[in-house]
Every structure is written in C-alpha cells, then in structure tokens.
C-alpha cells in the first residue's frame, strides 16, 4: 500500500482549517496571527515526521536501503559488504647471487610512487629472484599490471636490476559501493543457493572483492550446455574502477576460482563430490560494441551538438544495462538481455522529444553500416555503445 506524503503547505493548511473550525473563527491574514504561527510550526514538525517515516520505510527494503541500513539487510542474509583490498603479486629482480631480500623491504612503483612491502622474501640464485609484494595502501590505485617496474626505496647491495611485476595474485578493489552491494543482497534474497545450483556459484564468485556480477552456466564455454564429465563456466564482471568495461583481469579470475573451489572462511571444499577444478572454467565477460545510425535528424532549436551529445550519453547508458539472463538464477521479471530496433528507437526518441527534434529512422548493428532488428548477447556477453552516426 502506497503512502501519500503531503507537502508542508498542505499540512499547514489542514492544521489551520482544524483550528478555525474548533474556534469558529477566521484567522487574520497576518503572518504573526496566532493560528498561522501554530499551524506553521505544526506543519514543519509533521513534515520532519513524514520524512523520517519515508526514510525508515525505504530502509526496510534491500532495493531502496542505503549505507548502514543496506549493511543490516545484507548481514541478515550473510552477505557482507566488501572492504577495500590491497594488491598482491610477484616481482622478479636480478643481481648478484646470494643477495637477500627480506620481509618488510619497501619498493616504490615507478609510475605512481606508491609503496609496496615485501611479504615473501628470497635470495638471488642464478642471477634472479622472485618476491611477493603487497601494497601498503588498499584500493584500486595500487593495482599493478604485468611488466610494471618498481625501485627499491633503500638500496640493497648486490641488487642491481629493476624489479618487474610478473603476476598478480590479489587484484585490489575499493570499498564496495551501495549499488554493487545491493545487487549481491538482492541475489541472496531472490535465489536459494544449494551448493550445486547456479545461485551458489554466483554468490561464491561475487564474494570476491572487485567482482560486481557473475554469470554461471552449465557446460564448456565453447561446447554444449550439458556434457560429461559435468562442466561449468562462470563469467566474471569486475568493477569499472578495475577495468573500464568490467572485463575481469587474470588475477581476479584466479581469486574467483579459489573462492568457488574452497570456502575462504573454513578451508573446506565447496564443489560437490565428483566435480573437479579441471571441469570448472572461469572467464571474463566480453563487451560487444553496438553501432547506431540516425537518419534525418532535425533539431529546429539550433542545439544540434547538444542533442547529439545527449543521444550518445543516453545510448551509452542503455547498452551498459543489457545483462545476460541466466535461467534458474535470474528472476524473470528483471530480464533485460535483448536489444531491438524498438528499444533503441525509444531511447533516441526520449532525447528528441526533450529537444523538440525529430528523425526519420533509427537503426543499429554490430558493425558500422550493418543493421539488424534484434541482438541478444551470447552467454557471458554484454554490450556497449560503439558509435553513433548520422545520415
């Protein structure tokens, strides 16, 4: 049942009408008239109560709760907001055999100046050594790509080379924001994990910091849906702060695999008896660019450039929300996995209406100059705007 929230003016008028009815008097128009003052104060007080009631109503649902209220919703379901994590990875260096790198040695990233500490040391043998580093500060800004260079903060005699990142074992992530945390909380509410169904794989994968969505499917990524031995494929989408298109890097995929195969809290195996790591495929999502062509655009207001920019922004947002539908895991009422001429035209028309503009036709395709009437990404596939052309 919806609740109509009245404005302060409406509440004030109701109080004034009741006072006049009880006193059987008409209140003077002066602002300082007693009835006007009492009605105004009461209206302001009740407005605060209304706002509080609305705020608490929104806080009662995971779909609308924010901050601590959303945390409370998630905790009831065993879903905890991801804290910020620090990058970890391996680095190789060269120098004189016998040179020792100790735990606690500090290195500085050449490109960013951020500090990293050695958590697994080593001794140079055959001219090289492999160390494990961890960023001193948490957050995505500490992520390093393979091949990135560092420098020792304090010189170590015998270490004459340049430390180079060889691999990433933990991809750093910022504190999980409300919208990503909300998705995981709603997943826990709307699906029932059993330890073997897609919902379980999704929750396990999304339990890794930096993962915003996981899409689990039965079968091999390139093969049939059902196979023997039983194969499973999980596509991973990461936070855009890690990769702008949400394509999860290799280090994050490794973390997801570990989280699916082994419970990080207990160390116990999670996969059902008979399922092996060799039949589990963890892959990053793919982004397919979609190209739109608008024919006969007419903007009589003279704001053609502004209108075109607004069209591009609206289409960019629309294509990003096209999401693969996982049968048995996603609720049917939220399905949004197809792009059609009608949906693209509606997005464009909404912008045209705002500018008083018009167009003759709208078409889209997977390549410039190529058109299709409908497009549904394959499993693990998502969309993005390629470009908008005008003819």
Residue 18 lies in a domain: yes
How many whole angstroms separate alpha carbon 176 and alpha carbon 80? 10
Q: Is the pLDDT of residue 195 over 80?
A: no
Is the torsion defined by CA of 96, 100, 106, 112 positive or negative? positive
- Asked, for residue 176, whether it belongs to a domain, the answer is no
Among residues 135, 170, 205, the one where a domain terminates is 170
pLDDT at 169: 93
**Do 238 and 312 belong together in one domain?**
no
Looking at the structure, tell me whether residues 238 and 297 fall in a common domain: no
- Whether 359 is in a domain gets the answer yes
Integer Cα distance of 144 and 136 in angstroms: 13
Considering its fold, how many domains does the chain have in total? 4
The answer on 308 and 245 residing in a single domain is: no
pLDDT tens-digit map of 340-384: 999 999 999 999 999 999 999 999 999 998 999 999 998 999 999
| Domain co-membership, 145 together with 119 | yes
Cis geometry, peptide bond prior to residue 378 (ω within 30 degrees of 0): no
End-to-end Cα separation, the chain, in angstroms: 49
d(C-alpha 171, C-alpha 250), whole Å? 9
Any domain includes 30: yes
- Range list of β-strands (E), 296-357: 339-340
Domain ranges, residue 39: 8-59
Place 224 in a pLDDT band, splitting at 50, 70 and 90. Answer: low
Question: In terms of domains, do 157 and 198 share one?
Answer: no
Mean pLDDT on 306-310: 96
Answer with the one of 229, 259, 284 that is the final residue of a domain: 284
CA–CA separation, 312 and 293 (whole Å): 11
Give me the mean pLDDT over the 191-195 stretch. Answer: 78
E strand or H helix at 108, and its extent? strand 106-109
Whether residue 73 is contained in a domain is answered as no
Residues 380 and 353 in one domain: yes
Instruction: Look at 41-50, 84-93, 203-212 and tell me which has the smallest mean pLDDT.
Output: 41-50
- The domain that contains 107 carries what CATH number? 2.40.30.10
Q: What is the CATH number of the domain that holds 213?
A: 3.30.70
pTM: 0.79
Is the per-residue pLDDT at 225 higher than 90?
no
Tokens of 276: 């092996």
For the stretch 321-337, pLDDT in tens is: 999 999 888 888 889 99
The region of weakest confidence among 19-33, 150-164, 297-311 is 19-33
Domain membership flag for residue 74: no
The contacts of residue 342 (CB under 8 Å, 6+ apart) are none
- Give the residue among 256, 238, 265, 264 at the shortest CA–CA distance from 174: 238
Please tell me the predicted confidence (pLDDT) of residue 309: 96
- What confidence tens digit (pLDDT) does each residue in 99-116 have? 999 999 999 999 999 999
294 with 372, same domain: the answer is yes
DSSP 247-312: B--HHHHHHHHHHHHB-TTT--B-SPTT--GGGEEEEE-EEEEEEEEEES-B-TTS-HHHHHHHHH
Give the pLDDT confidence score for residue 6 in this predicted structure. 82
Residue 299 clears pLDDT 80, i.e. is over it: yes
Identify the domain boundary among 241, 261, 284: 284
Q: Mind listing the pLDDT tens digit for each residue in 49-72?
A: 888 888 888 899 998 999 999 999
Going by pLDDT thresholds of 50, 70 and 90, the confidence category of residue 120 is very high
CA dihedral 354, 359, 361, 364 (to 10 degrees): -50
Is 305 in the same domain as 321?
Answer: yes
99 and 153 in a single domain? The answer is yes
Within a domain: residue 66? no
Q: Compute how many other C-beta atoms are within 10 angstroms of the C-beta atom of residue 381.
A: 17
Using pLDDT thresholds of 50, 70 and 90, give the confidence band for residue 1.
very low
Mean of per-residue pLDDT scores for the chain = 91
| Domain match, 300 and 386 both | yes
28 compared with 207, residue with greater pLDDT? 207
Tell me whether residue 177 is in a domain. no
Cα(370)–Cα(387) distance, integer angstroms: 13
Q: Clarify whether residues 137 and 155 are in a common domain.
A: yes
Output the pLDDT for position 138: 95
Same domain, 246 and 214: yes
């Amino acid at each position: 049942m919806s609740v109509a929230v009245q404005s302060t003016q409406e509440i004030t008028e109701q109080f004034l009408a009741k006072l006049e009815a009880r006193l059987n008097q008409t209140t003077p128009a002066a602002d300082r008239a007693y009835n006007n003052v009492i009605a105004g104060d009461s209206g302001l007080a009740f407005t605060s109560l209304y706002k509080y009631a609305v705020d608490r109503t929104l806080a009662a649902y995971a779909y609308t709760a924010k901050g601590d209220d959303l945390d409370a919703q998630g905790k009831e379901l065993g879903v905890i907001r991801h804290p910020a994590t620090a990058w970890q990875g391996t680095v190789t260096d060269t120098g004189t055999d016998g040179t020792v790198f100790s735990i606690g040695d500090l290195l500085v990233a050449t490109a960013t100046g951020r500090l990293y500490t050695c958590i697994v040391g080593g001794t140079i043998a055959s001219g090289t050594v492999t160390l494990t580093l961890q960023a001193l500060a948490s957050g995505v800004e500490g992520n390093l790509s393979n091949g990135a260079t560092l420098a020792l903060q304090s010189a170590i005699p015998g270490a004459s080379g340049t430390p180079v990142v060889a691999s990433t074992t933990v991809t750093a992530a910022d504190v999980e924001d409300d919208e990503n945390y909300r998705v995981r909380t709603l997943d826990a509410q709307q699906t029932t994990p059993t330890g073997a169904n897609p919902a379980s794989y999704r929750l396990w994968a999304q339990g890794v910091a930096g993962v915003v969505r996981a899409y689990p499917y039965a079968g091999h990524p390139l093969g049939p849906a059902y196979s023997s031995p039983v194969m499973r494929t999980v596509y991973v989408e990461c936070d855009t702060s890690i990769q702008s298109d949400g394509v999860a890097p290799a280090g994050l995929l490794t973390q997801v695999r570990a989280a699916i195969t082994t419970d990080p809290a207990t160390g116990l195996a999670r996969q059902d008896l008979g399922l092996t790591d060799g039949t589990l495929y963890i892959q990053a999502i793919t982004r397919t660019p979609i190209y739109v062509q608008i024919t006969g655009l007419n903007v009589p207001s003279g704001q053609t450039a502004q209108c075109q920019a607004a069209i591009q922004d609206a289409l960019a947002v629309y294509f990003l929300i096209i999401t693969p539908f996982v049968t048995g895991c996603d609720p049917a009422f939220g399905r949004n996995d197809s792009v059609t001429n009608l949906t693209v035209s509606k997005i464009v028309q909404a912008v045209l209406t705002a500018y008083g503009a018009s167009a003759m036709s709208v078409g889209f395709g997977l390549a410039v100059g190529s058109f299709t009437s409908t497009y549904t990404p394959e499993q693990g596939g998502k969309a993005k705007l390629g470009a908008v052309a005008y003819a």
